[in-house]
Each structure stands twice: as C-alpha cells, then as structure tokens.
Amino acid sequence: MQILIFEPHRGCKKVLLKKETPKINLGKTVRDGYEHIQLNSDFLPDYVGIIIYHEGKFYFRNYGKINIFVDNKRLEDSSVAMRLVHGSMIKIQYSENKNVYIGCIEGELDNKWKVFKPETNEVLDIQKDKKGYVIRNANDIIFHGRKINARYFLPKDGDIFMHDNRIFYSMKNNLFFDVLKNTNLQQQKKIVINKQKQYQPQHPQPINKRRPAISMEHVTRYDKKKKWYRLKDVNLTINSGRLVAIMGVSGAGKSTLFDAILKRLKLDEGTIKIDGDELGHVPQFSVLRKGNTVQETMEFYASKKLKKYNKEERMQKIDDLLDKLNLSLFKQSLVGRLSGGQSRRLDIAVQLLNEPRVILMDEPDSGLDIKSCRELYEILARLVADKNSTILVITHNTHMACKYPYIDDLLFMASQGRICFYGQKEDALNYFNINDLDDIYNAVENNQDYFVEKYNNLVNRRV
C-alpha cells in the first residue's frame, strides 16, 4: 500500500508502506523506537497518529490530540484503529483551511500529476461549473474506501478518489490526476467488500448501499369523521443514498407521510421500518425561536443532540455546519431577522448536527429564489454523496426537482395519501408517458386512480 500525503502549501508526498514495518509513526517529531513519516505543517502536533500493519491489513490509529477522520468517520480516541483500504482517506483537520489529507492506494503511481481536462476525457461523464466539478453516473468511483453508487458525485476540496486506473485529487477548484499501475483489481474488490472483522479494533462497517433506508408496508390511516383516507395502503421502499423529491397537489398527504415516518401518526394498519434510530426533520413551518441568535440556536440544539462531545468539539461542529450552509456571516444575527432562505438553511443546519442517516424536509425550498434554491439542492446532493444519507424533500418546485441534476428519485402522491409513482427520475417520463417532466401534474390530474393502481401493481409484482 502507498499513501499520498497532501499538506497545504507543501505539495504531495508519496510514501510506500512496507509490510516489514508493522508500526509507522506520523507527525512532526520522530518518536523513539518507531519508523517515522514526517509531516511538516506547523499547525500539527508533534505526534499525530500511527499506521499499523497487522495480519495482512493496514490500520490507522490517532493519538487523540486533533480531529482525525478516516473515511468520514471521526476517530473518537486512541483506542480505535481504523482499517485502511484502497481508496481510504485520512483527513487531519485543524481548521477550515488547515487540513492534511492522506490518500491510500494499492499499486504504483506514474508520479505525473496533471490537471484534469473534462473535455478530453472519454471515460467519466464529468463537467465543471463555477462551483467545481460534477461527475454523473459515478458508479465505478472508489471514494473513502468504497465504491460509490450515486448518480452525481461532487468532489470537494481535498477529496481523493479513484476511477479505473486513475487517482484524482481535487484542490482549489481544480482536479488533478495521476495514473495507477499494477493495481490488482481482483484484490481490490476483495478488500472493498470484505465484511469480516478479524482484528479487535473497530474498522468502518462497509455500508451496504442497497440497504433500505425506509420501508413501509400497507400503511393506512382512515379519518372516520371526514370519511377520507389520510394515507391509503402505502407500500414504499427507499434505499439509502438517495435524494428523493416528494411531489403532489396540496392536501395529497405529503406532510402526513412524514408524520407517519416520524411515528406521529397513529396507524390503522401497516408497518414502517427506518434505518438507524435518529431521524432528522425540517418541518414545513420553522419552529426555531426568533429571539435567539443563530449561534445561540445552534449551541442550544448541539447541547441536546451532541451530549457525547465536549464543548470544543461542539463548537467545531457548529462552525463547520454554518460554513457549509453559508451562514457563517450571520452567527450573531437574530433568527427573526434572517431572510427566508437563511432561516430555512438554519432549520437544516440544526437537523444536521447529529448526522442522522435519514432526513425529512418539508418544503425547505419554499420562498427561495432560484439561486438560493440551487445552492440548497447542491448542499443536499453533496450530503447524500458524502454520507450516503437519505434525504426526502417535499417540494412544489417541479422545475428544480425535475430539470436540475440534484434529485435522484421522484415520489408522486395522489389525493387521500396514495402513491402514483416512486422511482428514478428518468423512469418517470416513460411511466407517465410524457416527454417533459414539467408535465407530470397534467398527466396525473385526471388519471390519479389509474396511476395509483399502476404503482400498486408494480409493487405487488416486485414482492
């Protein structure tokens, strides 16, 4: 295994990890009795961590003095060693602009980093816009040690990922690549899907991308007074790692569907299973106190949701989130004085504090202009790509859901809480027999029952 160390202003250094050296120390200072890899950034502590070779596998363990992530998992303390595989990334985080990235690869490198030019590339469907790169159909990309299965992948600063025999490195709105040789793909596959725990220290559980995030069976609730179904025989399976737009006329039952998932609605019949016990929920109407500042609001929810973390870690997390949601400038603003878009983003930031695997958002884009709306969806798409989370967004913004690349799946609801369609966006054209996704509402308008039945037939056939 080789590691590539990217330090800000100090370029890239390549180090071969040998099996003969079972322990290699990383840091600014040489540690007695250890092999050593020198890191040069001033902001790092003397000892950062150690790479261990044990029974044919490499692991990383930190010394607990600085925030370190291996494949997006934060190392809690020095008792945990994380497995390193082809494509793994170690991120040593000091502050927003002071991070050291270490990528792990099997195979030899060409040692010729070049700027990647999307237009000359035939293998990846990759485009560049003002905010960076967008890779479409990113199914064969190895990122954080796993193959990602996403329709869109938006690499961020410092990200390292592999495709085919190339390694990519994204920095300051540029993408660099180098060519990998002698990569034993057979062995690579074995590593990526190896689920067995053979070594006591924990290592990240490979996430089964096809594991359902939400599954609902025969979910029904009848309103006896109104003689009206609030939800009627809802059968639905949503896999993890999807960004789903929920559409349908006003009063169809979209928010009610969320109430059911949140277990706030008493069911007459049916079962609902959710992956993980934490659900994020951005309600249709904000519930944040208007008299508090943004910072106070975040601190209040952090103290409730991040009990395991100490104050410093909470503050770091708050800073990261406010930055991610473009709210850093408004830390001291009162919630009641925020613009519509800013306050929606704050609703979302609060929900992201404890990184729930499934997040429900009820019209997070209402009242946003096109630009803020795009920014919001971009943030959501990145979240799904990075964390493999599942996000359900109720929206009346057909254009944004259908015409922009962010949304993966559509869920269309008919009156009385019934489902007309759930599936990949591209499949909707065929399903509704339309040429333009903007016509969905027209297609459904007088044919609700027909499409509900069509959906139910499809679901029953799948079972």
Ligand X SMILES: Nc1ncnc2c1ncn2[C@@H]1O[C@H](COP(=O)(O)OP(=O)(O)OP(=O)(O)O)[C@@H](O)[C@H]1O
Binding site residues, ligand X, CB under 6 A: 223, 230, 248, 250-256, 284
Q: Which does 415 bind (CB under 5 to 8 A by kind): ligand X, Mg ion, none?
A: none
Q: Which does 256 bind (CB under 5 to 8 A by kind): Mg ion, ligand X, none?
A: ligand X
Indicate the residue among 165 and 255 with the shorter CB distance to Mg ion. 255
Q: Which does 354 bind (CB under 5 to 8 A by kind): ligand X, Mg ion, none?
A: none
Minimum CB–partner distance for residue 284 and Mg ion (Å): 5
- Lookup result for tokens 């869109």: 152
Minimum CB–partner distance for residue 230 and ligand X (Å): 5
Minimum CB–partner distance for residue 226 and ligand X (Å): 7
Closest residue to Mg ion using C-beta atoms: 255
Indicate the residue among 223 and 436 with the shorter CB distance to ligand X. 223
Q: Which does 252 bind (CB under 5 to 8 A by kind): ligand X, Mg ion, none?
A: ligand X
Tell which positions 228-267 bind Mg ion, by CB under 5 A. Answer: 255
Minimum CB–partner distance for residue 373 and ligand X (Å): 17
Q: Which does 27 bind (CB under 5 to 8 A by kind): ligand X, Mg ion, none?
A: none
Q: How many residues bind Mg ion (CB under 5 A)?
A: 1
415 binds Mg ion, rule: CB under 5 A: no
Minimum CB–partner distance for residue 244 and ligand X (Å): 15
Minimum CB–partner distance for residue 343 and Mg ion (Å): 18
Q: Which does 170 bind (CB under 5 to 8 A by kind): Mg ion, ligand X, none?
A: none
Indicate the residue among 37 and 260 with the shorter CB distance to ligand X. 260
User: Which chain residues interact with Mg ion by CB under 5 A?
Assistant: 255
